[in-house]
Amino acid sequence: MTQDRSDAWPVLRTQAQLGEGPVWCGRRNRLFWTDILGQSFSQFDPTTGQNTTITLDDPLCAFALMADGRFLCAFAHCIAIMDATGGREPALYRLTGEDPANRFNDGKCDARGRFWIGTMNTQGKRGLGALYRFDPDGTLHRMWDGLSTSNGLGWSPDGHVFYLTDSPTGQIHAFDFDPDQGRISRQRCFARIPADIGRPDGLCVDTRGYVWSAIWDGARVLRFAPDGTIDREIHLPVPRPTSVAFGGPGLTRLYVTSCRGGLDAATLERHPLSGSLFALDPGVQGRPEPLAAF
């Protein structure tokens, strides 16, 4: 396993309470990301270093780019379309049939533009979350139950393996994926991260099929080979990296969001960059995130 201890640097020194969900837009040359607890939505311009932020009425938990420049968004309890100014259309779907303390969490689109989004319990109760598929016709399908915190997700380059993180259990699951039908099957454990290392959070998959995972309370990003073994470890100057996304020219730069919410004063004094946005050049290429077909 290769260890990189000084590759990452802060491209944006900020104080996100729960920075999450980075998505690169090549057309705009911007990295979009959300601060869930801070209830804000940002776009970072790596050319100028400027970060433009809008304040939201609700926590924005996940989003996907749309062809017309808008965003398909999972807020805490609904799915709705939002424009770059924060203007929001009526909800396409409202979360029902779950524990009252549940909310949406991480989500992404598959290659057909279907939005996959999971839920989590905000009171820390385990096994109450689920994974959903939201189709362009407005129908929602419950795909998997028993999750604790449905988190980072992604697909193999050939589109036939689906990855899904359940953070409190320390597991990244793998499933067979049917791209035509949008179905998952044959669930198995892809990787299990010991609690003393941290908890897996957001993930992305590079062009070689390697899985990159931000490790919450682990101050690192891990890269997993397609067989689930750890082959690379990148240390960060913050304890709670939250998610990862490739961006920049050729999708060769890896961006990492982080969190400062919930950290005590002593920890923040030791790790003052908590909540900042980081970048590194890992020498591999990422893949563009599919657009939402809505």
pLDDT of amino acid 184:
99
DSSP summary character for residue 270 = H
Binding site for substrate: what residues are annotated?
103, 105
Output the six-digit token pair for 84.
Answer: 């770059």
Check residue 7 and give its pLDDT.
82
Distance CA 287, CA 246 (A): 7
Q: What is the pLDDT of residues 263-278, one digit of tens each?
A: 999 999 999 999 999 9
| H helix and E strand count, the chain | 1, 25
* 4 pLDDT above the threshold of 90: no
Are 23 and 3 within 8 A, CB to CB? no
pLDDT digits (tens, 9 = 90+) for 116-127: 999 999 999 999
| SS3 of residue 190 by DSSP | strand
CA–CA gap between residue 264 and residue 201 (Å, rounded): 20
- Which residues carry a binding-site annotation for a divalent metal cation? 20, 151, 201
Catalytic residue positions, numbered: 201
Tens of pLDDT, residue by residue over 213-250, are: 999 999 999 999 999 999 999 999 999 999 999 999 99
Query: From the CB of residue 83, how many other CB atoms can be counted at a distance below 10 Å?
Result: 13
The reported pTM is 0.97
What is the separation, in whole angstroms, between the first and last Cα of the chain?
A: 41
pLDDT at position 1 over 80: no
Residue 78 in this model has a pLDDT that exceeds 70: yes
Position 6 pLDDT exceeds 70 = no
Q: How many CA atoms lie within 13 A of 95 on its CB side?
A: 24
Domains delineated in the chain: 2-280 (2.120.10.30)
Binding-site residues: 20, 103, 105, 151, 201
pLDDT tens-digit readout, 7-18: 899 999 999 999
* Interval 150-195: pLDDT, tens: 999 999 999 999 999 999 999 999 999 999 999 999 999 999 999 9
